[in-house]
Amino acid sequence: MSGDRPTMPPVRLNSDAELARDALAAPLFARAVRLARWAGPGTRVGAGGELTDEQLPLAAAELGLPADGDGAAGASEAWRLAVDTGLVDVEDADEEDGEGTASPGEQVQLITSGSPQEILALWLDGLESVYADATGPQFDDFADLVGEDGEVDFAKLEWDPETEAEFLDGVLGNLYLLSVSETGSADGPVPLPALAASMIVPDDMGEPSDDALEQVSEAMMRLDDQFRLLEPIGLVEYWPVDEALMAEETEGAVEPVAPVDEEDVARYGMVRLTPLGLYGVRARMLDAGVEAPAVGDLAGKDASALLGALAHFPAAAARAETVLWLADREPAAAAKELLSAARGADRGAPLRRLHCQQALSLVTDEAADHEVRAVLDDPELGGLARVRLAERGAADVPPPPEAMVFWLAIDTLAAQLEADGEDEELQALVEGLTGQYTGFFDAAWRVDHPATADVLEAMGRLHPDKKAAKDARKAAFKARSRA
């Protein structure tokens, strides 16, 4: 497999319009917008921009929240998001009473008149604010942090902001990987114990140690708090840890060992990224310099960029990307560009030709067939051209010379090696080729292809028949000697 794979597989995102609607519907963001429109000349705030104690019940009532501590906390959280995102402008506090005023900010206009991209940018600002809260220090009583001298003792927090952010970034990165994987893991939520363990338990550890299980337990409780904060902004769907389990954990009566049935799994918490969450996590990764492609990114690029990138795409994403690339091009021009980009003797060329062949299978217009016929005599492209025309049912395709048959066989095997390594599918292909062509190795070592020796050596490792495997190794030796 190629060593320069992108950090993340490509993700298929919803349209900007769909994502913007999701952003506006996120409960916390919607509340922040509502409070921004509610704010007026009489809205009093403290020195830090927070609503005063007198204003909090009014804000809670505006949001339809209960007139209790939970309602006040919900209103305060939504107000803070409105201030952080510029939905609300705060005037400086008055010197006499220490209070200031608030009014709707310029960003409020974007809610009704802004483009989907502008709304999403505003939502991302809100996500960063919530993310800061989720990775912030935890304490039960602020007074416990104040020393005898009246100063805040931050050492008592035992909190490292970089470590906290790095851990949550890693967790969300793992969720993202599950969401974009070819297996479709994100169709269902991910158990919280498995997510926590993925960050703590080494891959080579057999039975987790007691210390590892204790760390997983602590991480789960922290993640439970964090996902409860991240769900209202629309990043995740979260099924929290059972309150009874949390009480038992606090009393030291239970350890979250691997549950065995679906009911137990659900009690330990479940989470998955929403479509908006995929967008948000990807945006954060891009800001951090992580390569996180999205399907459709290549639509405006040339065929060389397309075929080079498809080498690292799962099959479904590769097909979707190719369909989008072809959509804005004339069939004949697209075929000509793809064929030109497929040429080459470098290591990645066989895989480019394989993806070229797959892309051409999606072009059904007869105008493309003329461009394909033009390369029938090309030593690098003649084989795939014949495959394409045969798939189209063409009856007048000349049979390939024997040299082209063996060259195409080596090229195809080289492409499979580059894409998937020495897997079972390649082993079946090797057996099929040697079974179809008597004396395959006697001819194959003479093939003038840069990958001939490497392919024959791989065939020697893969072929289950000892004699055939030995013949493959001899042929590989001859190919290297000839080179």
Does residue 295 belong to any structural domain of this protein?
no
* Residue 138 located in a structural domain: no
298 in a structural domain: no
Distance (Å, whole) CA 137 – CA 41: 34
Q: How many angstroms separate the CA atoms of 477 and 454, rounded?
A: 10
pLDDT of residue 151: 59
Residue 421 lies in a domain: yes
Residues 186 and 83 in one domain: no
- The residue assigned the tokens 């549950």 is 259
Same domain assignment for residues 358 and 415: no
Can you tell me the distance from the alpha carbon of 294 to that of 279, in angstroms, rounded to the nearest whole number? 10
Q: How far apart are CA 135 and CA 168, in angstroms?
A: 8
Q: End of a domain among 257, 287, 317?
A: 287
**pLDDT the model gives residue 150:** 58
Question: For position 29, which CATH number holds?
Answer: 1.10.10
Average pLDDT over residues 2-26: 83
Domain end (from 355, 381, 400): 400
Pair (392, 438) in one structural domain: no
Residues 186 and 180: their CA atoms lie apart, in Å, by 8
What is the torsional sign of CA 24, 280, 298, 117? positive
Least confident of 3-12, 103-112, 267-276, 406-415: 3-12
DSSP 3-state of 271: strand
Highest mean pLDDT, choosing among 198-202, 422-426, 458-462: 458-462
Arithmetic mean of pLDDT, 171-196: 80
Confidence at residue 170, expressed as pLDDT on a 0 to 100 scale: 93
Q: Which domain holds residue 84?
A: 16-112
Please report the pLDDT score of residue 73 as a whole number: 94
- Residue 369 forms part of a structural domain: yes
Helices 349-360, 331-342: inter-axial angle, 10-degree rounding: 160
Q: Which residues, 6 or more positions from 186, have their beta carbon under 8 angstroms from its beta carbon?
A: 175, 178, 179, 180, 272, 273
Find the range with the poorest average confidence among 181-195, 215-229, 236-250, 466-480.
Answer: 181-195
Residue 252 has pLDDT above 60, yes or no: no
* Structural domain ending residue among the three candidates 400, 420, 444: 400
DSSP per-residue letters across 392-413:
TT-S-PPPPPHHHHHHHHHHHH
Examine the domain organization and report whether 373 and 415 are in the same domain.
Answer: no
Concatenated DSSP letters of 81-123: HHHHTTSEEEPPPPTTTS-EEEEE-TTHHHHHHS-HHHHHHHH
Q: Please say if the pLDDT value at position 153 is more than 60.
A: no
In tens, the pLDDT along 466-479 reads 999 999 999 999 99
Q: Is residue 292 part of a domain?
A: no
pLDDT at residue 476, rounded to an integer: 94
Clarify whether residues 44 and 95 are in a common domain: yes
Residues 6+ apart with CB under 8 A from 1: 418, 419, 420, 421
Give the per-residue pLDDT at 315: 85
Q: Are 430 and 389 in contact (CB under 8 A)?
A: no
* Same domain as 173, residue 254: yes
Residue 135 placed within a domain: no
Q: List the one residue out of 409, 444, 445 whose CA is nearest residue 426.
A: 409
Q: What is the pLDDT of residue 254?
A: 43
Give me the mean pLDDT over the 412-433 stretch. Answer: 87
pLDDT at 323 over 60: yes
**Per-residue pLDDT band at 261 (split at 50, 70, 90):** low
The token pair at 288 is 């951090």
User: 3-state secondary structure string, 272-336?
Assistant: EECHHHHHHHHHHHHHCCCCCCECCCCCCCCHHHHHHHHCCCCHHHHHHHHHHHHHCCCHHHHHH
- pLDDT beyond 60 at 3: no
pLDDT at residue 5 tops 90: no
The pLDDT value given to residue 156: 57
Residue 144 has pLDDT above 80, yes or no: no
Per the prediction, the chain carries an average pLDDT of 87
The arithmetic mean of pLDDT across residues 435-460, rounded, is: 91
pLDDT tens, 97-113? 668 889 999 999 999 99
- Quick one: residue 256, left, alpha or beta (phi over 0 = left, psi -120 to 50 = alpha)? beta
CA distances from 40 to 72, 105, 111 (A): 19, 11, 18
Place of tokens 């063996």: 406
The answer on 243 and 317 residing in a single domain is: no
Q: Provide the pLDDT for residue 265.
A: 74
Q: What is the pLDDT of residue 57?
A: 94
Q: Determine the 3-state secondary structure of 94 from DSSP.
A: coil
Same-domain pairing of 260 and 341: no
Q: How far is CA 143 from CA 6, 49, 77, 261, 388, in A?
A: 48, 22, 21, 43, 75
pLDDT higher than threshold 70 for residue 21:
yes
Asked whether residue 310 is domain-assigned, the answer is: yes
pLDDT of 364 reads: 87
* 136 confidence band (pLDDT: 50, 70, 90): confident
* Structure token pair of residue 436: 């179809």
Determine the pLDDT at residue 204.
64
More confident site: 204 or 428: 428
Say whether both 353 and 388 belong to one domain.
yes
Domain total of the chain: 4
- State whether 337 and 380 are in the same domain: yes
- Residue range 36-44: mean pLDDT, rounded: 90
pLDDT on residue 4: 44
Higher pLDDT, 100 or 158: 100
The pLDDT tens digits of the residues spanning 119-133 come to 999 999 999 999 999
% of the chain exceeding 70 in pLDDT: 87
CA–CA gap between residue 215 and residue 200 (Å, rounded): 7
In terms of domains, do 184 and 234 share one?
yes
Q: Are residues 31 and 58 in the same domain?
A: yes
CB 134 within 8 A of CB 229: yes
Q: Give percent of the chain above pLDDT 90.
A: 61
Q: What sign results for the dihedral spanned by CA atoms 34, 35, 36, 41? A: positive
Please say if the pLDDT value at position 230 is more than 80. yes
Q: Residues 195-218: what's their mean pLDDT?
A: 80
Determine the angle formed by the axes of helices 55-62 and 27-38, rounding to 10 degrees: 120
pLDDT recorded at residue 41: 82
